Structure formats: C-alpha cells, structure tokens
C-alpha cells in the first residue's frame, strides 16, 4: 500500500544521513499489533486506536518541527517523535476525532489516544493531575490542522464499534480501558523500537514455549521424588502436589490453595499453573509475592528449573548485575512482561493494574490469558481490598486469567451479605478450593505447640524475655516494630542476629543466608526480627517466639518452627504481649487476634484450625472503617453518559505502600555500595547506576530523617537523592542508626 510522505519518526544511519519512518506505515503497523494484543477483549477497538493515535502528526506544524533538524543535537533529533512540553501536541487530535465521529463511544478511544505518551488522563481536573481529557477535547485546532491534509482513507474510515459485553457494567469500564491502553502503548513502543533500534527489537521474545518448560518442570519433580527421603511431611507434600495437578484440569477461574506453611506450596502451585496453562493454551505464569525479602528466593528456585532466560524477576530491588549476567532480553521484558514466567511483587502487580502511566500499563495486556499465583494472599492490604477484589473478579471473568490464592491462612474474601440479602461487603465469588479436605491436612501437618500468655492484657518486660530466650540455643523471636527489634536485640548476647528494614536489601540477604547456613549445620543461632521473615523465608527453628499479632501472623511465625517435622517432639511457639502494642492496621489485627484467642489464655494449643482464620478476618475487616480508604472504586465508576473516570487520580491514590512523609536514603553497607555512591557523585543519577543502588536503600519517616539531615549524617548529593555521609551511621548488625525515638503513634513497621 502506498504511503503519503508524512513523517512519524526519523533516525540516522552511520553516516548521519536521515532515514524516515512514514506515518501511514506506522499507524497501520501499530493498529495491527494492538489488535493482536487485544484479541481477547476488544481487537477492533485497539485497531482503531492504533490508526488514530498519531493523527496529530499530520499537522503541518508537527511535520515542520520533525523535519527541521538544523541546530539540533543528534540525540535530540532522534527523540523528536517523543511528545514533551514545548513540542507540538500530536495526541489530542486523534482523541477529538474519535469523539466527533463516534460520539460517547469515542470517549473510550479518546482516553487511550490522548494518554498514549503522558498516561491516561482524568476526565476532569483533580489533584493537579495534568491536562484533563474534558478540557483537552475542547481545543479543536489540533484536529483542524491535522485534517487540512489528505489522510489515506483507510486510516480515517469510520468503523461501527460497539462496546463488548464486559463493558456493559460501569465497574468493568476502567480496567477495560486500561487493557486497551496497554495494547496501544505497547504496540506503539514496539513499532517505534523496531524502526529506531532494530537490534534491541530483535532480542525480544526469544523464550521457550510453556509446553517445553512444562517438560523441564516434570523432569525436575521426578528427580525430587526419586531423591526425597521418606518422611510423613514428604508424604503429605506429595499428596498436595497430586491434588494440585488433578485440579489443573478444571476450567479457567478462581482457585484457593489452603496449605499450612511447609507444605510445599511453591512447587505445588507451579505444578497447577503449568498443567492448567498448557491444557488451556494460556500464555504465561505470573507469580506474585508480597515481600522483596522472599521474592529472590522463589525466583532462584524457578530459574534453577526453567533456566535464567525464561524467568523474569521484576521488582524494585532486582540486582542489575544478576540481570546483566543473564541477557538483555530479561531487561527488555520488564517493560512489557512478555516472558513465559514472571516473578514479581504485590506492589508491582497491583499498582500496575491501577496505573495510569504508560511505562506501568504496557504490561497489562500480557496479564490476560495467564495463570496468576498470589502467594500469601492474607497480606493483601485491607485499605485497598475492595478495589483489588473487584479487579481480580474482572480478570477471571473477562480476560481468561486463572488466579490461585495461595496461603496457609486464607482471608475472608467472599461476598458478604447482610441479614436482608443485600451486599454488605463485595468480594470474590466462585472460588474453588484445590485441597479436598484442608481441615484434615492442617491436622496432619501440625508440627508445633502454641503456648498462649496467661493474660493478654499483661505486658512482658524485654529484660525478662531476653533472659528466657537465652535458655534456647536456636531460637527466633518476631516482633511487629523496628524499635522493638532493636530494644530486645540490645539485651541479647553477642552474636545474636538482627533483621529489620532498617537494614538495606543486600544486608538482609547476606544475614538470612548466614542464618540458614547455621541452622543447616545445627549450630547455635538466635535471631531477633521484625515480621519480614514471616512470609516465605525458609527458616526452620525448634523454638519461635511471636509478639501478639493477628492470627495470620502467628500462624506464619509458627511456619518457621519445626518446618520439616524432624524434631522428636513438636516445635515450640510462644506468644507474648510486648511492652508497647502495635498501632494502626497491625494494632487492629492484634486486637482481633486477642478476641479470637482470649478464651484460651494460658493454654497450649495443638493447632489453629483453618475455619478460625475466616472468623478472624471477618472480625478484623469489620473493625476497619473502610476497605477502600482512597475511594478508588468511586473514582473509577463512570457515569454511563459521560465515561468520566479519574484514571490519573486513582493511580496516584492507589499505593500499596503509603509513602506519606517518607524519605529514601542510600547507605554505605559495603565497599561496593561506597564505590557506587562515588560514581553517583561524579556522574549523576544515571538509570543503570540508580538500579544498582536500589539494593542499598533504607526508607525513613520524616521524624527520623530530618535529624540525620540536620546533623549532616546524611546529605543531598543530587536533587532529591540523599545518601549516608558519616561512616558510622550504618551499623554492620542493626543497619541505619536513628537519633530519634519513635513517637507513640509510630506506624512504620518491618
């Protein structure tokens, strides 16, 4: 097909001669790519979005701008296609065209087209959120200038579009628009990259198919079974694996995997995911984990099975050195998740599902037609639980996403009705439990005795607890506050390990590895930790102490005790009441836990039955004022006559980790960190360097941060980037030292 001579992009060959990417070709190619990505949820809509997204580039002003290279540096010329302040607006014209030609239905495309560089806009102005779509649609000059020229008829042809059935309900609208947006922006990025950087484009997508990875997994599991030593725990794990593989034959939908800690959930859930994906011809498996402290452990297990090149580990603390040892395609895959197996954090996964920025939304269309394993589901943030459950229900209902809720302590996520049959709390419906009889399984895998305090209102003294802990050669004690961990650790003998988020990720990883080594060698080891060790950190102590907390936290702590069931008697888990109670959400969880256990004060329990957790979570959720603290559902529930979603405001308000008055500090944990900080001072915050430094960060509240800044223990080395200044600020055992005691309302934990 012939093209008119309008430019979309320009690059330069080795002789600095320009090579043109014609606009007509770009629009058609993006249209085809986007339609393919949106095949499950609206190929026709994505196709038209692709054709119209750059209509503004037909504007003679834009053509003059991109053609006039005189006086520009080469790198500026090559990036001339990127829309930035001060450059010609080329994204509004297509949005206006969609509304003029398609009416209210065109507003769907208008969001997508107007936001394909700057991100999905709000309908009306809020929170200083940039150009609102309603306002941008009023400026008709963008479209008038673009349509002064003869645009090929196939590009501007008016289609007959009808929203699919999934968009018929207002609650489905926002996710559908974000999915279409994802298909468009990924297609636009990739077609542009194909022209601008062909070498990079060719390195994408070079993965083994899931069917071949399935065979690798089966071979690995056969090897484990052949080498497993006979034990009651391994017999139970084999049965859990069998049930997961049998359940994989079920249709796409929502599943729960209720298995006590130590039951082998990681490999059993992966067996379900692979069997299920291959049977239903699904494209990838996404493993979602709550904490970065355990994601690396799980990712390494999967890399050992499937090969480095087939497993993408995507989170804020990813080690760039490790990625560089793998290949470029792993780094490229973080942009759009086109790898067959993704291991990521809850923060990365859910914040992307509610995102507005193009960089975060690119991956969304690749979540469709996938199996998502949500590990430690009980840790879903209650303040955002309602919008999270809504989007989870939509993914399974409309986007061929099977989701597995994997945890030892299943939260109460079903829709709850009031006595009159009205919805009191929206939740997940039609969730199928994989394990045939969870209650019996919990009894079979119970390997600890749980000792409760005589009086839940009487606190213990740290000095008394420290003396008691010294009676045990191998013991883990878990508290809920950073300050508690430091206060108790100060009373323990030399050699006691400390773990908290005041230690950078690199420091924590090394300490956890050392603890595991000593446990395996049956050497004495005492550890004082915040709850960062509770979810998925593979430690096995004979004795565990847990500060009073929610029932899920107590059960998770118990999972670090007698994990392999090798003790001659059961392990010992002791619950105690700390001198200062936890506050905020954790405080309410502890109150609910006390309510559940108060009748058993002073007793030693053989087990916490799984049905008790449902009662606990019901009570816990009822204590909270709302399960949608930021009002996300309301922001994303449009009026059918307006389509008035507040995409950008919702994205700003949906934060899994509340930033508030917090500051990140780069620390000099080791020689490598010091060298990286020196490079940062000399070269500035280059992207590769900041990614390396992510493993050397500690987050502080303002009341902790400001005194350190005033005393010059930390300093601002670049705008908004703060680093350790004095060599004594970072302790090799405790991490970053603080000058200020926590106020009574402290809410920063871990």
Tell the residue number behind the tokens 């058609």, with chain if given: 28
- Beta strands (DSSP E) in 16-104 are 18-22
Topology, domain 447-606:
Rossmann fold (3.40.50)
Residue 3 DSSP symbol: -
Pairing of strands 284-289, 341-345: parallel
Antiparallel, parallel or unpaired: β 311-314 and 341-345? parallel
Q: What is the number of other CB atoms lying within 10 angstroms of the CB of residue 504?
A: 25
- Report which DSSP code applies to 162: -
Partnered with residue 400 across adjacent β-strands are none
Q: Do 210-409+426-441 and 447-606 agree at the fold level?
A: yes
Of all residues in the chain, what percent are helix, strand and coil, respectively (each to 5)? 50, 15, 40
Give the closest residue to 471 by CA, choosing from 516, 529, 526. 526
CB 25 within 8 A of CB 57: no
Q: How far apart are CA 509 and CA 746, in angstroms?
A: 26
Contact 70, 215 (CB under 8 A): no
Return the sign of the alpha-carbon dihedral for residues 444, 446, 452, 456.
negative
Which residue, among 426, 393, 355, 352, has the nearest Cα to 626 in the 3D structure? 426
Q: Report, as ranges of residue numbers, the positions in the chain whose pLDDT lies below 70.
A: 1-3, 68-87, 126-130, 292-293, 315-334, 536, 658-661, 740-750
Label each residue of 659-707 as H, E or C. Answer: CCCEEEEECCCCHHHHHHHHHHHHHCCCHHHHHHHHHHEEEEEHHHHHH
What is the phi-psi region of residue 579: left when phi exceeds 0, alpha when psi lies from -120 to 50, beta otherwise?
Answer: alpha
How far apart are the C-alpha atoms of 97 and 143, rounded to whole Å?
A: 7
Contacts of 353 by beta carbon, 8 Å cutoff, 6+ apart: 175, 178, 364, 367, 391
CA-based torsion, 236, 240, 241, 243: positive or negative: positive
Q: Report the distance separating Cα 652 and Cα 647, nearest Å.
A: 9
For residues 413 and 392, give the distance between their C-alpha atoms in angstroms, rounded to a whole number. Answer: 11
Q: How many CA atoms lie within 13 A of 149 on its CB side?
A: 20
DSSP 338: -
Q: What is the full DSSP assignment across 372-409?
A: EEEESGGGS-GGGHHHHHHHHHHHHHHS--EEEEEESS
Q: What is the structure's pLDDT at 624?
A: 86
Residues with Cβ < 8 Å from 585, sequence gap 6 or more?
382, 383, 624
**Per the structure block, which two tokens stand in for 107?**
């507003």
Tally Cβ neighbours within 10 Å of residue 695.
Answer: 23
Q: Which residue, 578, 413, 345, 551, is CA-closest to 481? A: 578
The answer to whether 565 and 233 are in contact (CB under 8 A) is: yes
For 402-440, the DSSP string reads: EEEEEESS----S-EE-TTS-EEE----SEEESSS-HHH
From the list 477, 297, 486, the residue with the least C-alpha distance to 375 is: 297
Distance of CA 324 to the CA centre of its chain: 22
For residue 633 the two structure tokens come to: 């559902």
Q: Which of 346, 545, 408, 519 is nearest to 464 (CA)?
A: 545
Would you say 678 and 639 are in contact if contact means Cβ atoms under 8 Å apart? no
Phi and psi based region of residue 691 (left: phi greater than 0; alpha: psi -120 to 50; beta: remaining)? alpha
Instruction: Please state the domain extents for the chain.
Output: 7-202, 210-409+426-441, 447-606, 662-736
Q: How far apart are CA 282 and CA 4, in angstroms?
A: 40
Which distant-in-sequence residues (6+ apart) come within 8 Å of 543 by Cβ? 472, 474, 475, 476, 561, 571, 572, 573, 574
Q: How far apart are CA 112 and CA 119, in angstroms?
A: 8
8 Å CB contact between 451 and 573: yes
CB-facing half-sphere around the CA of 737: CA atoms within 13 A = 15
CATH number of 210-409+426-441, picked from 3.40.50.300, 3.90.1310.10, 3.40.190.10, 3.30.1550.10: 3.40.50.300
Structure tokens belonging to residue 652: 């700003």
| CATH code of the domain made up of 7-202 | 1.10.3210
Identify the DSSP state of 561.
B
Task: State how far the Cα of 576 lies from the Cα of 455, in Å rounded to an integer.
Answer: 9
DSSP annotation of 51 reads H
Output the pLDDT for position 277.
97
Element (H, E) at 302: helix 292-306
- Are 450 and 608 in contact by the 8 Å Cβ rule? The answer is yes
Q: Give the three-state DSSP class for 574.
A: strand
Measured at the CA of 413, the angle between CA 410 and CA 418, to 5 degrees, comes to 135
Which segments within 509-642 are labelled E, that is strand? Answer: 525-530, 543-547, 571-576, 604-605
> CA 94, CA 325: separation in Å to the nearest integer?
43
Q: For residues 596 and 584, what is the distance between their CA atoms, to the nearest angstrom?
A: 19
Sheet strand arrangement including 254-258:
311-314, 341-345, 284-289, 370-375, 402-407, 254-258, 431-433
Task: Map residue 342 onto helix, strand or coil.
Answer: strand
Distances (CA, A) of 107 to 49, 56, 136, 655: 11, 17, 12, 27
- Lookup: tokens for 143: 């479209």
Report the run of H or E that residue 715 belongs to, with start and end.
Answer: strand 714-718
């Amino acid at each position: 097909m012939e093209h008119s001579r309008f430019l979309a992009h320009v690059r330069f060959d080795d002789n600095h001669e320009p090579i043109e990417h014609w606009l007509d070709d770009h629009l058609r190619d993006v249209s085809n790519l986007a339609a393919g990505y949106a095949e499950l949820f609206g190929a026709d809509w994505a196709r038209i979005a692709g054709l119209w997204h750059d209509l503004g580039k037909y504007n003679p002003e834009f053509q003059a701008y991109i053609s006039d290279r005189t006086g520009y540096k080469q790198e500026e010329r090559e990036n001339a296609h990127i829309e930035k302040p001060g450059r010609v607006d080329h994204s509004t014209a297509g949005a206006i065209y969609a509304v003029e030609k398609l009416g209210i239905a065109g507003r769907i495309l208008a969001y997508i087209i107007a936001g394909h560089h700057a991100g999905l806009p709000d309908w009306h102005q809020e929170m200083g959120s940039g150009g609102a779509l309603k306002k941008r649609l009023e400026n008709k000059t963008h479209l008038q200038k673009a349509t002064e020229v003869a645009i090929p008829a196939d590009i501007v042809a008016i289609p007959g579009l009808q929203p699919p059935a999934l968009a018929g309900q207002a609650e489905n609208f926002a996710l559908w628009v974000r999915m279409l947006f994802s298909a468009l922006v990924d297609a636009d990025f990739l077609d542009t990259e194909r022209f601008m950087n062909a070498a990079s484009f060719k390195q994408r997508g070079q993965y083994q198919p899931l069917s071949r990875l399935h065979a690798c997994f089966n071979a690995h599991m056969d090897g484990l079974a052949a080498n497993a030593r006979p034990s009651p725990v391994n017999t139970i794990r084999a049965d859990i694996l069998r049930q997961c593989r049998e359940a994989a034959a079920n249709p796409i939908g929502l599943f729960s995997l209720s298995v006590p800690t130590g039951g082998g959930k990681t490999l059993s859930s992966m067996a379900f995911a692979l069997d299920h994906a291959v049977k239903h011809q699904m494209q990838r498996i996404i493993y979602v984990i709550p904490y970065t402290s355990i994601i690396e452990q799980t990712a390494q297990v999967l890399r050992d099975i499937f090969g480095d090149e087939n497993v993408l580990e995507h989170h804020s603390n990813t080690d760039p050195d490790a990625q560089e040892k793998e290949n470029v395609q792993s780094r490229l895959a973080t942009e759009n998740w086109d790898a067959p197996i993704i291991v990521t954090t809850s923060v990365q996964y859910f914040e992307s599902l509610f995102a507005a920025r193009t960089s975060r939304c690119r991956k969304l269309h690749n979540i469709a037609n996938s199996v998502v394993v949500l590990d430690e589901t009980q840790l879903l943030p209650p303040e955002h639980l309602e919008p999270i459950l809504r989007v989870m229900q939509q993914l399974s209902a409309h986007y061929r996403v099977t989701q597995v809720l994997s945890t030892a302590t299943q939260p109460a996520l079903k829709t709850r009705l009031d006595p009159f049959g009205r919805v009191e709390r929206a939740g997940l419906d039609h969730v199928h439990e994989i394990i045939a009889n969870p209650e019996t399984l919990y009894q079979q895998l119970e390997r600890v005795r749980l000792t409760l305090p005589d009086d839940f209102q009487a606190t213990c003294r740290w000095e008394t607890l420290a003396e008691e802990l010294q009676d045990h050669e191998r013991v883990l004690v878990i508290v809920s506050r950073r300050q508690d961990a430091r206060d108790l650790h100060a009373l323990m003998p030399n050699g006691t390990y400390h773990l908290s988020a005041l230690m950078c990720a690199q420091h924590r990883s090394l300490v956890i590895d050392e603890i595991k080594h000593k446990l395996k060698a049956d050497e004495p080891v005492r550890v004082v930790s915040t709850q960062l060790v509770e979810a998925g950190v593979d430690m096995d102590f004979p004795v565990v102490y847990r500060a009073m907390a929610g029932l899920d936290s107590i059960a998770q702590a118990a999972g670090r005790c007698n994990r392999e069931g090798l003790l001659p008697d059961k392990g010992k888990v002791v619950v105690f009441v700390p001198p200062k109670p936890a506050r905020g959400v954790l405080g309410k969880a502890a109150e609910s836990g006390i309510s559940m256990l108060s009748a058993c004060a002073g007793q030693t329990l053989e087990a916490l039955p799984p049905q008790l957790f449902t009662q606990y979570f019901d009570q816990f959720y009822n204590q909270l004022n709302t399960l949608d603290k930021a009002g996300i559902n309301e922001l994303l529930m449009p009026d059918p006559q307006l389509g008035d979603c507040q995409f950008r405001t919702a994205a700003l308000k949906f934060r899994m980790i509340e930033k508030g008055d917090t500051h990140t500090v780069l620390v000099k944990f080791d020689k490598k960190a010091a060298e990286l900080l020196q490079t940062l001072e000399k070269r500035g915050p280059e992207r590769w360097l900041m990614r390396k430094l992510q493993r050397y960060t500690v987050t502080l509240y303002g009341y902790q941060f400001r005194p350190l800044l005033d005393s010059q223990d930390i300093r601002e080395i670049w705008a908004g980037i703060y680093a350790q200044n004095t060599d004594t600020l970072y302790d090799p055992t405790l991490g970053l030292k603080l000058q200020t005691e926590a106020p009574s309302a402290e809410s920063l934990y871990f």
